[in-house]
Structures are given as structure tokens and as C-alpha cells.
Amino acid sequence: MRYRALGRTGIEVSTYCLGTMMLGSVGNPDHDDCARIIHHALDHGVNFIDTADMYSAGESETIVGKALHGRRDDVILATKVHFPMGEGRNRGGNSRRWILTAVEDSLRRLDTDRIDLYQIHRPDHTTDIEETLATLDDLVRAGKIRTYGCSTFPAEELVEAHHAAQRRAVSRFRTEQPPYSLLARGIEADILPVAQRYGMGVLVWSPLASGFLSGHIRRDTVDLTTGRAALTPHRFDPAIPANAAKYDALEQLTALAAELGCTLPELALAFTQAHPAVTATIIGPRTMAHLETALKGAELALDDATLDRIDEIVPPGANLYRPDGAWRPPALTDRTLRRRPQADRAAA
């Protein structure tokens, strides 16, 4: 396992980060098996674990907390806040009120007295970013968290957050967690350069493109009745014209992996490690077999000739699909923000 500095935090982390979204009722409900997966990752050099309060409604944090008994000091532990937790108003978002409540809940579930990296899971345009940053800064001063970052923020939001931190004279986001894969390279155009400019650590998620790069998906054999293909058929159905470019690239990438003597997942994970802005790649196994497959490629490094071949297949900065779970600004999702009131239009 290799290790890198987490931005300018002074913390060193493994280049593989164990993501735990699939540990719990959403993926693997067997707590003992989940603990074995966590321990196996630690035994193979992983010292970085990422979870979130909303993963399986808090169950993932509970699993991680139990698994880390006796090993907490060896781990850089990250979790996230933003998405609603339970029914009712004011139980989500990035407000001071909710963050102060959510961090205590996460500490309790994780059975720890501090969180090494506390991340804002998505932007929240109903809360002033200065309020969010000031709250996180207070948590650092209180010793409840060590440093903080964000996840799936667009480049302009990162820049604004840094300026807001400077105005407020508080610490700034030290990390960003965006989606990145062989098929979704959009962050190369903006997120990664901004992260480098501000010395941010970068943890990339969905390196296997929601299972598309798992090695089990092919144009002629894809089964739309099982697994992720059944949950999101619009991502996998070869009959949909928008998917044609993905399948064309997949065939070429599979052939390239075979030439290199590695598997497609190993090629996909190694690719995310090649960019100088990336600190760690989040792997999210549901089973021990998934973890062992990922760990096999931990030492694989791609040479320039291979990276040039990949650039020919999927151009730098290109997105052949929109990553599942990627954030979309309210200006696009809320049509009322794109349209003048009818009365105003009629008057015009």
C-alpha cells in the first residue's frame, strides 16, 4: 500500500480509502462480516476509512465504530453530514443548528471522541457558507473534529468557500470528494486544478463508474434484471443511444487491460491514482471478495504510454455519463429559478 499527504493537513493516508456505503442494510447487513472486511483492509495497509451519517440511516457508522474497537488510533476516520436523517424539518442541511446535532450523533455511533475528517456531503444554498465554515471551525477548536472538507462541490463553490473562510478568518475546506473514473473525467477540467491551487486533498469516489467498470458489464451480455443494471437501467441499456459511447469505450478499455495483463477494475483504480491532484481512491466493497479484488491492484502504476492510450479512448475532461449521486445546482433542478413569474412575462 502506498501513502500520500492529505493536502496540507499534515496527515498521511493510504492511497486506497475504505468506503463503507455498502456496509449496512443497503448492502451487507451482516455486522460481523462487515467487521471482517474492515479488519482485512486495515491488515493490508489501509489506514483511511470514509463513512457518512446517512449511509443505511446511521448503521454504517455504527458498524465502523464497533469494528474499530482497539484500533481507532491507527485509523484516519472520515464521515459526512448534510442529507436528512429522519422525518421532520431541520434534520439535514449545512446549518449550524443541524451540524452541531449531527456531529454528536456521529460521534456516538462511531463510539469515538473525535472525527479526523468531517465533510459537508453536498452544497446547501439555503445556508450561508460562512455559517457552515464558522461552525466547523468551532468544532475543531472544541476537539470534536480534527479538520474538515467537502464532497461533490462544484469548482465555483470551492473557490467561494475559500474566499468566505478568508473573510471570516476561519480555517478552510482542506479536502474535496468528487466522482472520478475512466468514464467520468469532467473534474479534470475544473475541480482538480482548483484543488491543486488551494492545496486540497482529493478523495475520489465511484472509480468503477457505478459498476460499469467492474468487469462484469459488456454490451452483449449485460443483464438488466439484476444488480445495479436493474436499479438504473437507463445507465446500462445498450438500446439507449446515449449509452453507445460508454460501451464503445468499455470494449477498448477492456482490451487495453488485457494487453497490460491486469483486470479492468485494476486498470480503473490505477487510472484514478495517476492524476497528481488525487490523494486517495475510495473503494466501496460489499463483500470480502470485492475488497480482495480491489486490493490486488493497489500497487499497479500506469506509464505514460498507457495513459496516452486512455486519453485516446476517453478524452481528458470528458464525461461519457453523469455519475450517480453527483450534485446538480438548484438553478437546474428548480424550474422556478429559471423562469420569470407568468405575470412578469405577460407584462413584458
Cite the active site residues.
55
CA distance to 9, 152, 211, per residue, from 93 (Å): 25, 14, 29
Enumerate residues 6+ apart whose C-beta is below 8 A from 48. Answer: 13, 14, 16, 17, 18, 75, 76, 78, 280
DSSP conformation letters of 208-225:
TTTTTTSS---TTT--TT
d(CA 92, CA 105): 13
d(CA 52, CA 31): 17
Contact 46, 2 (CB under 8 A): no
- Residue 229 phi, psi (nearest 5): -65, -35
- What count of other Cβ atoms lies within 10 Å of the Cβ of residue 328? 12
- Tracing cell 463483500 back to the chain, one arrives at 287
CA distance to 52, 58, 63, 67, per residue, from 55 (Å): 6, 6, 11, 16
Q: Is 188 exposed, middle or buried (0-12, 13-18, 19+ CB in 10 A)?
A: middle
DSSP conformation letters of 3-50:
EEE-TTSS-EEESEEEE-TTBSTTSB--HHHHHHHHHHHHHTT--EEE
Whats the size of the chain, residue-wise?
Answer: 348
Residue 147 corresponds to which cell in the numbers above? 479538520
Sign of CA dihedral 156, 157, 161, 164: positive
